[in-house]
Amino acid sequence: MDDYGLTDKVALIAGGGSRDDGIGNGRGAAILLARSGAKVAVMDQDLEAAEKTVAMIRAEGNDAAAFACDAADEDDCKRLIDAVMDTYGRLDCLDNNIGIGSRNSVVDEPLETYRKVMQVNVETMFLISKFAIPAMISSGGGGSIVNISSISAIRPRGLTTYTASKGAVIALTQAMAIDHGPDGIRVNCVAPGPVYTPMVYVRGMSEDARAARSKASILGVEGTGWDIGQTVRFLLSDQARYITGQVIVVDGGVSLRSPERDSAG
């Protein structure tokens, strides 16, 4: 067991499923948290995807349970937190990892799509946190939350609705950190760069496109869901006890270069 101070803590991963055996950001975080001794509640709108993550965790001898939730529904979010509390009796950590993309400008973006992206990328974090935070307070040990943004929020390259939503995630994170610091709850944000996850490759990606994404990094390497998961685990752990309200960029240095619309995630 490693020294993250996560043993027997309960961590909820919102958006912890993934395609097939692929390692997305949420699944990577869930597996790593479990390896560090946390009891992991894996939530996804697709229960089968959450159950696959749970099976991977249990195969390593660790503790996890799967939950289905429509995170855009307030009542369902309340039911989710109630179910986690009924299962484990406490809640210590939350990884808000739900999100979708969009590539249009304000001129081209349908209003329906704009509203959907904002709802999925921002409102779900708002709703899950609304019920998770009181559960953390009642658990008596403070807590830690990580919200997943994107380097698009700090280095815009078009993708206007997506960029706006991920910028809102950063603002939400910082406001939550101020609101709930007195409760002993830390709130931080991870901004991934181009990461090779099932969300990316199920849409189809040529080898040339994949190579270009790697080249965009000043390290010349490609990010994975494990890289994001490692950062989430650190921020949720006791090792980050003096860190709150911060945005941690995990992009191999991509954001140090000039923006290129198709080079990063």
Across the range 57-61, mean pLDDT stands at 98
How far lies 250's CA from each of 1, 38, 118, 128, 219, in Å? 25, 23, 23, 24, 12
Q: What is the pLDDT of residues 178-230, one digit of tens each?
A: 999 999 999 999 999 999 887 777 666 777 777 777 788 999 988 999 999 99
The residue to which tokens 């700090």 are assigned: 154
pLDDT of res. 263: 42
Dihedral, CA of residue 15, residue 68, residue 138 and residue 174, to nearest 10: 30
Band of the pLDDT at 20, cuts 50, 70, 90?
confident
* Positions marked active-site: 162
User: Which of 95-99, 170-174, 255-259 shows the lowest mean pLDDT across its residues?
Assistant: 255-259
Min mean pLDDT across 2-6, 22-26, 104-108, 207-211 is at: 207-211
- Tell me the C-alpha distance between 125 and 65, whole Å: 20
Contact 6, 40 (CB under 8 A): no
- Cα separation, 39 vs 25, in Å, equals 18
Backbone phi, psi, residue 212, to 5°: -65, -35
In order of start, what are the domains of the chain with their CATH numbers? 10-256 (3.40.50.720)
Give residues with Cβ within 8 angstroms of 158, minimum separation 6. 103, 105, 261
Amino acid at 252: G
What local confidence, expressed as pLDDT, does residue 2 receive? 72
On the question of pLDDT at 264 being above 60, the answer is no
Integer Cα distance of 181 and 19 in angstroms:
36
